[in-house]
């Protein structure tokens, strides 16, 4: 709803989380090339910030983690998000300056690009007082990337379809993670294609192919309700992990190092190459991060707890 009394803000800043997948079950590709998924998304407290300001012409700047590898033109998902909102809200001619401050690494399996798109949708909705609901924004976001709706929602949620159909999950407690970032990114499309290829090879060799319809792990959902990371850790599961490991075999060493230092669970996050290690508490996550750094098995390590909230407006400056 457009407020009659409220002045449009001069700038809006939105904070948006990264995600890890606690379960990622991938089916056989659909006719449109996408893979049907059942996934348990979990937002973690590693945030990008997107600020939008009114402008004559749309522009985009990026600072922080991996900034140099992020496109600054219309191909950036955040730019596409602003254009999609202009279109959906009938705001022809509206332009915006988009400033992205990145802490989520790029092409890392943490949905950083989707996070920036989600943040831009929410920020522009506020800046232009468009009045779209969270559901409208999620629908618009799903057209931009499979993980955009979850970046708006946050918390812990089950995703189906391409990952865009979400149901909040009943999860207790908080979870502490050490995240090991890789030296090189991985292309999501390439990881899915490699997953298909590996499965075809297995099927040709007489092994049973994976299930066409992925299923939610009930043991994982029960463990999440208990709030006990020691129960959750062994149930973390990612169907894309073999593909990520075949594209970057050095990730095996990273996973092994985390396990050897007592991680309750060790998994490639989404399409990788980030490896996520579940710790028993915040102090253990710190110890794990130190050990992984010392082992020299990754580019950098961050600690993050979850579940984190989805995209949220943190600054909304009024003109003085």
Query: Segment 58-97, which members bind ligand C5P (CB under 6 A)?
Result: none
Is residue 37 within the footprint of ligand C5P (CB under 6 A)?
yes
Q: Which of 145, 149, 185, 273: binder of ligand C5P (CB under 6 A)?
A: 145
Nearest CB to ligand C5P, comparing residues 15 and 162: 162
Q: Which residues pair with 165 in a beta bridge?
A: 160
Told to judge if 80 belongs to the known catalytic residues of this protein, a careful annotator would answer no
Report the sign of the C-alpha dihedral through residues 138, 140, 142, 144, in that order.
Answer: negative
Stretch that binds ligand C5P, among 14-22, 143-151, 257-265, 283-291 (CB under 6 A): 143-151
The Cα 165–Cα 179 span in angstroms is 26
Candidate ranges 15-23, 141-149, 204-212, 252-260; the one touching ligand C5P (CB under 6 A): 141-149
Taking the complex as a whole, the smallest distance from the CB of residue 82 to ligand C5P amounts, in Å, to 17
DSSP per position, 16-50: EEEEEEEEEEE----TTSPPPEEEEEEEEEEEEEE
- Span of 78-86, 142-150, 217-225, 234-242 interacting with ligand C5P by CB under 6 A: 142-150
- Please tell me whether residue 38 binds ligand C5P under the rule CB under 6 A: no
**Which residues make Cβ contacts (< 8 Å) with residue 16, sequence separation at least 6?**
47, 48, 49, 50, 115, 116, 118, 119, 122, 151, 310, 311, 312
Sketch the per residue contact string, 173 through 202, with ligand C5P: x for CB under 6 A, - otherwise.
---------------xx--x----------
- Which is nearer to ligand C5P, 157 or 264 (by Cβ)? 157
Between CA 171 and CA 190 the distance in angstroms is: 32
Closer to ligand C5P by Cβ: residue 9 or 182: 182
Q: Within its chain, how far is the Cα of 235 from the centroid?
A: 20
For the chain, the straight-line distance linking the first and the last C-alpha, in angstroms and rounded, comes to 24
Told to check if 163 binds ligand C5P by CB under 6 A, we report: yes
Q: What are the helix (H) ranges across 132-249?
A: 134-142, 148-153, 188-204, 218-226, 229-232, 241-247
35, 176, 284, 303: residue in contact with ligand C5P (rule CB under 6 A): 35
Binding flag, residue 17, ligand C5P (CB under 6 A): no
Q: Distance (Å, rounded) from C-alpha 186 to C-alpha 206?
A: 29
Q: Which residues are catalytic?
A: 19, 147
**Residues near ligand C5P, by CB under 6 A:** 34-35, 37, 145-147, 162-163, 188-189, 192
């Amino acid at each position: 709803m457009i407020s009659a009394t409220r002045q449009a803000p001069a700038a809006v800043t939105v904070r948006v989380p990264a995600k890890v997948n606690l379960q990622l079950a991938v089916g056989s590709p659909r006719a449109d090339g996408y893979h049907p998924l059942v996934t348990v998304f979990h937002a973690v407290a590693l945030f990008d910030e997107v600020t939008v300001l009114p402008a004559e012409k749309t522009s985009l700047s990026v600072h922080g983690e991996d900034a140099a590898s992020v496109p600054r033109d219309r191909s950036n998902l955040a730019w596409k998000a602003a254009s999609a909102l202009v279109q959906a809200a009938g705001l022809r001619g509206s332009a915006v300056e988009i400033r992205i401050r990145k802490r989520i690494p790029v092409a890392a399996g943490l949905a950083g690009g989707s996070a920036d798109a989600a943040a831009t949708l929410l920020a522009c909705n506020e800046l232009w007082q468009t009045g779209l609901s969270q559901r409208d924004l999620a629908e618009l976001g799903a057209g931009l990337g499979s993980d955009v709706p979850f970046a708006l929602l946050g918390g812990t949620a089950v995703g189906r379809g391409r990952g865009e159909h979400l149901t909040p999950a009943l999860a207790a407690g908080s979870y502490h993670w050490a995240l090991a970032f890789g030296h090189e990114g991985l292309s999501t499309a390439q990881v899915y294609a490699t997953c298909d290829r590996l499965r075809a090879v297995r099927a040709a060799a007489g092994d049973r192919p994976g299930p066409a319809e992925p299923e939610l792990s009930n043991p994982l959902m029960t463990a999440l309700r208990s709030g006990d990371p020691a129960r959750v850790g062994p149930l973390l599961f990612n169907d894309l992990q073999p593909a990520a490991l075949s594209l970057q075999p050095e990730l095996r060493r990273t996973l092994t190092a985390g396990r050897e230092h007592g991680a309750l669970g060790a998994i490639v996050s989404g399409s990788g190459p980030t490896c996520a290690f579940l710790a028993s508490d915040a102090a253990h996550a710190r110890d794990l991060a130190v050990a992984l750094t010392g082992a020299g098995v990754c580019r950098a390590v961050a600690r993050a707890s979850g579940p984190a909230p989805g995209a949220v407006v943190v600054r909304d400056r009024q003109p003085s």
